[in-house]
Amino acid sequence: MEKRIELEKRGKDAADIKELNLDNCRSTSIVGLTDEFCNLESLSLINVGLTSLKGFPRLPNLKKLELSDNRIVNGLNILATSPKLSHLNLSGNRIKDLETLKPLQDFKNLRNLDLFNNEATMMADYRERVFKLIPSLKFLDGYDAEEHEVDESDVDDEVNGNDDDSDEEGNEDEGTSDEDEEYVGLNAVYSENLDEMTDEGDYEAGEEEEEEDGIEEEEEEGDEENETPEEQTRGKKRKHEDESEGN
């Protein structure tokens, strides 16, 4: 286990590591994992061969602990040095009764517990008794007290420290952004429509002037056509006299 820990550190300081996977490294007890991993939040020790939790370090920030497929019988009180623990997987171990689980009743943040494939699950009223024993518990073996299946995203949110307040703040920010975008969009539409209306007004005004000029010309031509032969003759005569006087 010590060699595996050094490999998983990859040259980092123990205090800088938040997740550590030691699955299948084979050891009957905890060796090489020290209090220096003070910021560790997730630890996986699946199928290691542990018979006890002897040597488990003080991990004040640990939230998720995977201990499935080992040979643990008791000694859960050792985990008391990790008060923030919210997710504990003990499936596939050798826990036989509620007495072994009693140390878990002091974990105020424990939300998810998995005891699948332990002898303790064969007890009469097993689920009711475990929920009663651990008041903070929300999910047992993947289901809540009403037999509703756990949503893995909810578990991840709890482990990662996401809460409802942050989601609400995010939604508020998104709402403000949407309103701003809508406001800008409407302004653009109004401006575009206003430009179109202005262009149409100019075009219509030009057309009206041309139409008026055309009407005046048509009226003048119409007046000439409506003159009698005598009027046309007098008009030509006056025009000829005007030209002679001008000369």
Closest to 110 in 3D by CA, of 158, 164, 54, 172: 158
Core vs surface per residue 85-95: b (16+ CB within 10 A) or e: bbbbbbbbbbb
Enumerate residue ranges in the chain where pLDDT < 70: 152-247
Express each pLDDT in 35-48 by its tens digit.
999 999 999 999 99
pTM summary value: 0.64
Looking at the DSSP bridge assignments, the partners of residue 180 are none
Ranges for all domains in the chain classified under CATH 3.80.10.10: 2-161
* Residue 150: per-residue pLDDT: 79
Q: Are 27 and 4 in contact (CB under 8 A)?
A: no
CB atoms within 10 A of CB 116: 14
Burial (Cβ within 10 Å: 0-12, 13-18, ≥19) of residue 140 = buried
* Residue 34: per-residue pLDDT: 96
The CATH code of the domain at 2-161 is: 3.80.10.10
Distance CA 173, CA 110 (A): 32
Q: Are 121 and 147 in contact (CB under 8 A)?
A: no
What SS3 state is found at 82?
A: coil
DSSP 139-168: EETTB-TTSPBP-HHHHHHHHHT--HHHHH
Q: Which residue has the tokens 């123990």?
A: 14
- Backbone angles phi and psi of 90, in degrees to 5: -120, 20
